[in-house]
Amino acid sequence: MDDYNRDREEERLEPGEPLHSRPEEEYRTPATEEPMYSRQTPPPQPPKRRGGFWPALFGAILGGLLVWLLMSTLSGPNDDTASTGTGTVNNTPGKTEQVSVTVDSDLTKVVEKSTDTVVGITNLQRGQDFWSQSDTPQAIGSGSGVLYKKENGKAYIVTNHHVVEDAEALEVTLDDGTKMEGKLVGSDVWTDLAVVEVDGKDIKSTIEFGDSDALKRGETVIAIGNPLGLGFSGSVTVGVVSGKDRSIPIDINKDGTVDWQADVLQTDAAINPGNSGGALINMAGQLIGINSMKITEETVEGIGLAIPINLALPVIEQLEQTGEVNRPTMGVSLVDLRNIPVQQQSILKLPKDVKDGVIVTEVFRNTPAQTAGVQKYDTIVEMDGKPIADMVSLRKHLYNEKKVGDNMTMKVYREGKPVTIDMVLKDGNSF
């Protein structure tokens, strides 16, 4: 038995001895002795040393100071509040509300900067008016447009070709509700772009062009337009750049055959009928795309498409200057090799490894093709060293890579043998 327990054993009362029978000094615990415990409570372990209080206190103070300095640095210099649409909110370090307030404030400023540059465009075509029975232009559809230039008393709007297609008159509605007459300067079916002119007197601002090539996937973008007509004018949707350099097959003449591959930006910002021709802008308020279409299959959600502004600019400039886009032409009619039955392909005597190409079915007079010596049933397989699989790839090479007056080298198969042809391209609206 240790000293501690021995001392305690000596202090126990004898059986039947009342507590008060001993002198008070014998059962009162002196201030310098261990405190008394009931018999049911086991004796405590000796207390631990408390020598670490001051170092712990110092460490806590130092850690708190470091956290305060870090949060002060992240929150920016001398900026105690973040603006919202209705007032201000204290920018307390460590509160999650700070991020959402900042983002909302930025979006609001971007929209305020850009929204009055987006207009509504109504396509008017002649038809019988039910009430007056007069033959007057009637609204058959509407879309959106973007004011991009003001010069010499005129203002210019870029929109989609399909928004103004076959219009006999155009009505432009500004963001404040002002209506004015629009004049079609020119349009291009291949890129689905058009330019409209209005009186510049009531136009207060125009949008700034951005750089669509500099966009990154995941970057925030904003779509502004008039979905479902002017009743929802100036609608704003927010998303991200979902993809770049997308190629979408387009059937321009609605004959069930793909005529063109449109190069577009993909975004998940909501784009609906009526948004066509509207603005896709970045967080600097710059125009980086013209909203054009969306994929509407039942199994697809959140795929909107826009024409990159870097591809649109050369077309916009040509439409503004000449009313049309002058594209190079060869002067031939063509058909895809894939569309020719195997029995007829044997007439061409092509090598077995030639599966793709474009067949010349007619050569027109006084054209670059005739001058260069192109013949009927020549099968085009390369242009300037690039493979040509079908008419879509041929069009893209001619329209995107070449200009009027350029030289072009073609590789064709004639009677089963490879032939190289050089020609100088001229302007025209066909191949």
Q: Does the annotation mark 161 as catalytic?
A: no
- Say which of 142, 144, 162, 187 is annotated catalytic: 162
Q: What is the pLDDT of residue 28?
A: 44
Q: What is the pLDDT of residue 132?
A: 56
Question: What CATH number does residue 187 fall under?
Answer: 2.40.10.10
111 within some domain? no
218 within some domain? yes
- Say which of 276, 292, 390, 397 is annotated catalytic: 276
303 within some domain? yes
Does one domain contain both 353 and 418?
A: yes
Determine the Cα angle at 420 with ends 418 and 422, to 5°. 160
Q: What is the pLDDT of residue 249?
A: 84
Does one domain contain both 238 and 334?
A: no
Q: Does the annotation mark 427 as catalytic?
A: no
CB atoms within 10 A of CB 110: 21
251 within some domain? yes
Q: Does the annotation mark 192 as catalytic?
A: yes
Neighbour-count burial of 81, counting CB atoms closer than 10 A to its CB (0-12 exposed, 13-18 middle, 19+ buried): exposed
Which residues of the chain have a pLDDT value below 50? 1, 4-11, 13, 17, 19-44, 76-104
Does one domain contain both 331 and 298?
A: no
Taking the alpha carbons at both ends of the chain, their separation in whole angstroms is: 113
| Boundary-marking domain end, from 199, 220, 244 | 199
79 within some domain? no
66 within some domain? no
- Say which of 175, 192, 378, 390 is annotated catalytic: 192
The DSSP secondary structure of 169-206, one letter per residue, reads EEEEE-TTS-EEEEEEEEEETTTTEEEEEEESTT----
Structural domain containing residue 368: 327-428
Does one domain contain both 345 and 315?
A: no
Q: What is the pLDDT of residue 205?
A: 93
Does one domain contain both 127 and 189?
A: yes
Q: What is the pLDDT of residue 231?
A: 65
| Boundary-marking domain end, from 302, 320, 338 | 320
Q: What's the total number of domains in the chain?
A: 3
Does one domain contain both 340 and 418?
A: yes
| Boundary-marking domain end, from 177, 199, 221 | 199
